Structure 1
Amino acid sequence: MAMSQLAEKPMPAPTPEPRVRVENLRIAFPRPDAPPLEVLSGISLDVADGEFVAVVGPSGSGKSTILRAICGLLKPAGGEVRVDGRPVSDPPPEVGFMFQKDALLPWLTVTQNIRVGAELSGMSKAEQETRIPALIRLLRLDGFEDAYPKQLSGGMRQRASLGRLLAYNPSLMLMDEPFGALDYQTKIVMGRELLRIWEAERRAIIFVTHDIEEAVALADRVVVFSARPARIVADYRVDLPRPRDLRAMRGDPAFVHLTESIWSDLALPA
C-alpha cells in the first residue's frame, strides 16, 4: 500500500473519558476481634457525562458506601475510582453531594444558603448576583428568597438544598436518597422537579434510592446491587421516553415489566 493511501486513512475518533469510572472496587471496614466487613466486592461501573444513573439494592448493600468512595470519603481496600480521568484520593472539587436530610444552615435564608455553594465554588460576586436569582427561579422558590428553613415545607427545603448544590456547580452530583424522608406526594413532585432541572443543566447524577419505581422513572440506567458484600447483578438501560411522570407511567407495560424485573433481581416479593 502506498504511503499516500496510509496518510489518507482516517484515524479513529478518541473514546470520550467517562465522567466516573469505578474499576473492581472493594470496600471493607475493620472490626475489632473479627475479620474486616466486606461491603463492596469487585464493583465496576462507568457513568458518562450528563448521564442519570440510579443505584438500587437491599438495605445495607453498600449503595451509600459507593457514593462515599466516589467522592473520596472512603479509601478502597482494592480497585480504583476515577473522576474525569483522575484517580480519586481526596474529595474532587467537581463532585457535589446531596443527602437525605437537607442540612440547610438554619440561621441563613434561602438566598444565603444557596450563596454558600456559590462561594465554595469560587464564583465571583458579580456572577452570584446573576446565578443565584436564576437558580431560585429554576427551583420555583420565587417569593421565598428571604425565608428561613423553618418557614419552608420539606419539599421546599430539599429544593433549596438542591439549589446550594447547583450553585457549587459540580460536574457530578451524588444524591443519597434525597427524597427518602418526604411523603409520597412530595416525593413525586420533587422527582418531577429534579428531572426538569437535570434536563436544563445536564449534570451527571448517581442517585441512590430504595424506591424502584422512583429509580425507573428518573434514570437513564438502573444499576442493581446484590446483598452485602455487594456486586452488580444487573444494569438496565431505561429506554422510556422523556419527559416522564411517575403517575402517568405506572400503567405503561414497559415500565411495569422493568420494575418487576428489578424486583426479581433483588429477590424480594413484588
Structure 2
Amino acid sequence: MALTNLALTNLALTAETPRPRAALKDLCISFPRPDLPPLEVVSGISLDVAEGEFVAVVGPSGSGKSTILRAICGLLKPSGGQVLVDGKAVAAPPPQVGFMFQKDALLPWRTVAENIRVGAELGGTPAAEQAAQVARLIKLLRLEGFENAWPKQLSGGMRQRVSLGRLLAYRPSLMLMDEPFGALDYQTKIAMGLELLRVWEAERRSIIFVTHDIEEAVALADRVVVFSARPARILAEYKVHLPRPRHMRAMRSDPAFTELTEAIWSDLALPD
C-alpha cells in the first residue's frame, strides 16, 4: 500500500530530527514531609539534550539542579512527568549514563591507573583491553608519570582529572556532572575547564553540567539553561555561539561573552 503524504512527511521529519540523548517531559519532583505538604522542588520542566551536546544548567542554590541529575540517572523517582534516555523511560540507573560529583570519591587503596580502571571494569570493557584503554586516558588527561601514584599524593585538580578519566573509562554516552570543579581554587578550576573542553572535543559525549558559576557555564557549554528558584522552572535558554576551541581567560574580553553572562545574571535577578 502506498504511503500517504502525511506518512511521508512524518518519515522525513523523523529522519531530519535525531532522537535526543536525554529528554525531560513536564518533569515534576516533590519530597514528602511529615505533617506538612510535600516540598515541590521541580515544577514542569521539559528539556532535550542532543547527541554530543554540552548543556550547562545554572540557577540559585536549592533550585533543583542536582535533583534533576539524580532523576536522569535513575536515583530519584519523579512525582510527575517523565525522564527518557535514548528514547526509553528511566526506571532504574541506565547503563549508558555516567555521573561525576563535586567530590572526586577516588578509592584511596588504588593507584591512579587502578582508579581509572574501575570505570573500565564497571563499563564492561574486556579485561584484555583495559590496560590499553587506561593508558589512552592517562595520556589524554596528561597524567603520564603519575600512573602509580596514590590519591593522597595528588593535588585537587589532578584528583579531578583521575575522576574524569574513570568516568570516560566507563564509556557513557551521557555524562552528568554536578559542580565537578566547585571545590577547586580559581586557577585550578580554569585549568580543569580547559581539560574538560579538550577531552569533550575529542570524545564528543553528551554532557549536562550543573554549576553556580555563570562564566564557567558560558565558557564551556553549547547551551545554557537557567533555572528559577524552587520550585525549579526554566526561566531562559541561551545558545552559546562563541567559537571553539575556547580559551577561557581570553573570552572575558569578548563583548559577546560579557553580553551573554550579563543577560543570565539579569534573569536570575528577576523575581519569580
* TM-score of the superposed pair, with normalisation by structure 2: 0.94
**Residue equivalent to 2:25:** 23
TM-superposed CA distance for 1:84, in Å, is 0.3
Alpha-carbon deviations, 1:150-174, whole Å to 9, x = none? 0000000000000000000000000
Find 2:142's aligned residue among 140, 143, 158: 140
Alpha-carbon distance between aligned partners in 2 of 1:100 and 1:67, rounded to the nearest angstrom: 13
Alpha-carbon deviations, 1:100-145, whole Å to 9, x = none? 0000001100010011110001111121121110000000000000
Alpha-carbon deviations, 1:46-65, whole Å to 9, x = none? 00010000000000000000
**Residue equivalent to 2:168:** 166
**Residue equivalent to 1:198:** 200
Alpha-carbon deviations, 1:180-235, whole Å to 9, x = none? 00000000000000000000000000000000000000000000000000100001
**Residue equivalent to 2:268:** 266
**Residue equivalent to 1:121:** 123
Matches within 5 A, 1:1-270: 12=12, 14=15, 15-267=17-269
Alpha-carbon distance between aligned partners in 1 of 2:39 and 2:247, rounded to the nearest angstrom: 40
Could you tell me which amino acid in structure 1 is paired with residue 27 of structure 2? L
SS in 2 for 1:266: helix
* TM-score of the superposed pair, with normalisation by structure 1: 0.95
Alpha-carbon distance between aligned partners in 2 of 1:246 and 1:58, rounded to the nearest angstrom: 23
Alpha-carbon distance between aligned partners in 1 of 2:123 and 2:254, rounded to the nearest angstrom: 42
Alpha-carbon deviations, 1:11-56, whole Å to 9, x = none? 5152211000100000000001100000000000000010000000
Could you tell me which amino acid in structure 1 is paired with residue 91 of structure 2? S
Alpha-carbon distance between aligned partners in 2 of 1:239 and 1:121, rounded to the nearest angstrom: 34
Instruction: List alignment gaps of at least 5 residues for structure 1.
Output: none
SS in 2 for 1:126: helix
Alpha-carbon distance between aligned partners in 2 of 1:214 and 1:236, rounded to the nearest angstrom: 14
What is the aligned-residue identity percentage?
Answer: 77
Alpha-carbon distance between aligned partners in 1 of 2:268 and 2:59, rounded to the nearest angstrom: 7
TM-superposed CA distance for 1:245, in Å, is 1.4
Runs of 4+ in structure 1 deviating by more than 2 angstroms, as ranges, are none
CA RMSD of aligned residues (A): 1.6
Could you tell me which amino acid in structure 1 is paired with residue 238 of structure 2? Y
